[in-house]
Amino acid sequence: LSTGLEEAWTKLRREDVLTRENMKEPMRDIRRALLEADVSLPVVRRFVNSVSEKAIGTGVIRGVKPDQQLVKVVHDQLVSLMGGDAVSIEFAKVPPTVILMAGLQGVGKTTACGKLALFLKKKDKSCIMLATDVYRPAAIEQLVTLGKQMEVPVFEAGNQLSPVEIARKGLSEAKKKGVDVVIVDTAGRLQVDKGMMNELKQMKQVLNPTEIFLVVDAMTGQEAAALVAAFNLEVGLTGAILTKLDGDSRGGAALSIKEVSGKPIKFIGEGESMTALEPFYPDRMASRILGMGDILSFVEKAQEVMMQEEAEEMQKKIMEAKFDFNDFLKQTRMMARMGSMGGMLKFIPGMNKVSPLQIREAEKSLKVMESMINSMTPEERADPELLTKSPSRRRRIALGSGRTQEQVSQLVSQLFQMRARMKNLATLMQGGKVPGLDN
């Protein structure tokens, strides 16, 4: 995927800003590259449209060339196409958590069971695996071997019982043992058929699984997405495990699964060894598909530079004790752009040791503050003194923001305290101050 895209970017590099006109060629290349990656046409269309729209909508960022800006947009859209945030395993409120593994033959179900057991074991979860693939004796043997290798118990009954019976017995065994997670390996078929679906439905009924994963082979490209959609319709899935990504450089399957089926990829398999399983991170996959890590980090650098400039401007205001509610809002938004306060804090010397809990608390209180500032008039924002003098203004703001008058008064006095304290601190810092953190 990466080579085709790279050419498109080079052409754009010589331009000044992104326009519909100069984006045409790179967009055509993106389209072609995605089709070559075996992404289905409707998905490609939607993707290209959303990229064009977003790219036109982005303003010029100082120091960033249009090609880099477009990479950033493509990257972000790829991430959102793949579901945005990583989705991890859901655990049952009352153990054991049951994970049912479905999928066609040879896609890597049994292997994925073992990998998952090891993954969970490393997280201090006790597991048991159920061998319900009674159709092939070798399949049970395979799971038993994996279990021995990782010291994870396997429940099996040869082929004396039906898969549903094994599931039932295995589950009660797991409950007796007080195991955290039950991983159920199932039999696959060469293709989707009624027998397999019915068996899965019955197992689902017996097991009441928290997770039902469809294991799909990345080498099947866009077919993988269609499969996830089909199984989801029949059985109801909670996610997919995409295997054999080590053998597929195109990434088409990874791209389309969420978009086509509505279900997230939760894990990826990248090899035959038991350790070759990882949670699926859409942003990492996007970077990998683009294969342009350098450009990406440059765009991020440029944005950091821009933030630094804004922060310096802010600092000037702080020095002059002119920091008002508008600056406050601007700073909050700057943080929002960074994604989190944690990201922002790394620009501020001495602030990188703040704990995640403190950051979450601060972020929460910032939201409250922002709601109150939103209820202020422009004059009030620019001239906080107005609020110290007028209780009726404070009452209005409290009503408008759904906060108490006390909270509004607190915010106003905080701003003045901040002004005073910031002025003292300003000399110590280079990147501006995060308001609301140390009060």
Cβ partners under 8 Å of residue 343, min gap 6: 335
Q: Can residue 137 be called a binding residue for ligand GDP (CB under 6 A)?
A: no
Question: What order of strands is seen across the sheet that includes strand 211-217?
Answer: 154-155, 127-131, 181-185, 97-102, 211-217, 239-243, 265-269, 277-279
Minimum CB distance to ligand GDP smaller for 144 or for 306: 144
- Alpha-carbon distance of 277 to 279, in angstroms, equals 7
Residue 342 binds what, of ligand GDP, Mg ion, none (CB under 5 to 8 Å, by partner type)? none
Concatenating the DSSP letter of every residue in 274-297 gives TT-EEE--HHHHHHHHHT-HHHHH
- Alpha-carbon distance of 313 to 399, in angstroms, equals 33
Question: What minimum distance in Å lies between the beta carbon of 266 and ligand GDP?
Answer: 14
Question: What minimum distance in Å lies between the beta carbon of 172 and ligand GDP?
Answer: 24
Q: Can residue 332 be called a binding residue for ligand GDP (CB under 6 A)?
A: no
Name the DSSP class of 90: P
Where does residue 59 fall: left (phi above 0), alpha (psi -120 to 50 degrees), or beta otherwise? beta
Amino acid at 368: V
Question: What minimum distance in Å lies between the beta carbon of 322 and ligand GDP?
Answer: 59
Closest CA to 194 of 241, 166, 235: 235
Question: Per-residue x/- marks for ligand GDP, 266-305, CB under 6 A?
Answer: ---xxxx---x-----------------------------
Minimum CB distance to Mg ion smaller for 65 or for 109: 109
Minimum CB distance to ligand GDP smaller for 39 or for 139: 139
Residue 269 binds what, of Mg ion, ligand GDP, none (CB under 5 to 8 Å, by partner type)? ligand GDP
Residue 84 binds what, of ligand GDP, Mg ion, none (CB under 5 to 8 Å, by partner type)? none
Q: Can residue 105 be called a binding residue for ligand GDP (CB under 6 A)?
A: yes
Name the DSSP class of 157: B
Residue 106 binds what, of ligand GDP, Mg ion, none (CB under 5 to 8 Å, by partner type)? ligand GDP
Unique residue bearing structure tokens 């754009």? 12
Question: Per-residue x/- marks for Mg ion, 101-140, CB under 5 A?
Answer: --------xx----------------------------x-
Cα–Cα distance list, 242 to 103, 213, 410 (Å):
11, 10, 52
Q: Can residue 106 be called a binding residue for ligand GDP (CB under 6 A)?
A: yes
Minimum CB distance to ligand GDP smaller for 177 or for 189: 189
Cβ partners under 8 Å of residue 400, min gap 6: 375
Q: Of residues 109, 204, 263, 433, which one binds ligand GDP by CB under 6 A?
A: 109
Residue 103 binds what, of Mg ion, ligand GDP, none (CB under 5 to 8 Å, by partner type)? ligand GDP
Q: Can residue 107 be called a binding residue for ligand GDP (CB under 6 A)?
A: yes
Question: Per-residue x/- marks for ligand GDP, 240-269, CB under 6 A?
Answer: ---xx-xx---------------------x
Q: Of residues 103, 209, 282, 432, which one binds ligand GDP by CB under 6 A?
A: 103
- Burial grade of 20 (CB within 10 A; 0-12, 13-18, 19 or more): exposed
Q: Tell which positions 334-363 bind Mg ion, by CB under 5 A.
A: none
Other CB atoms closer than 10 Å to residue 202's CB: what's the count?
15
Phi, psi (degrees; rounded to nearest 5) at 94: -110, 115
- Per CB under 6 A, the segment of 45-53, 103-111, 254-262, 385-393 that binds ligand GDP is 103-111
Q: Tell which positions 353-412 bind ligand GDP, by CB under 6 A.
A: none
Question: What minimum distance in Å lies between the beta carbon of 115 and Mg ion?
Answer: 13
> Two tokens at 426?
């300003």
The residues facing 267 across adjacent strands are 241, 279
Handedness of CA 52, 54, 57, 63 (dihedral sign): negative
Residue 7 binds what, of Mg ion, ligand GDP, none (CB under 5 to 8 Å, by partner type)? none
Chain centre distance of CA 26 = 27
Minimum CB distance to ligand GDP smaller for 71 or for 134: 134
The residues of the shown chain that bind ligand GDP, judged by CB under 6 A, are: 103, 105-111, 188, 243-244, 246-247, 269-272, 276
The residues of the shown chain that bind Mg ion, judged by CB under 5 A, are: 109-110, 139
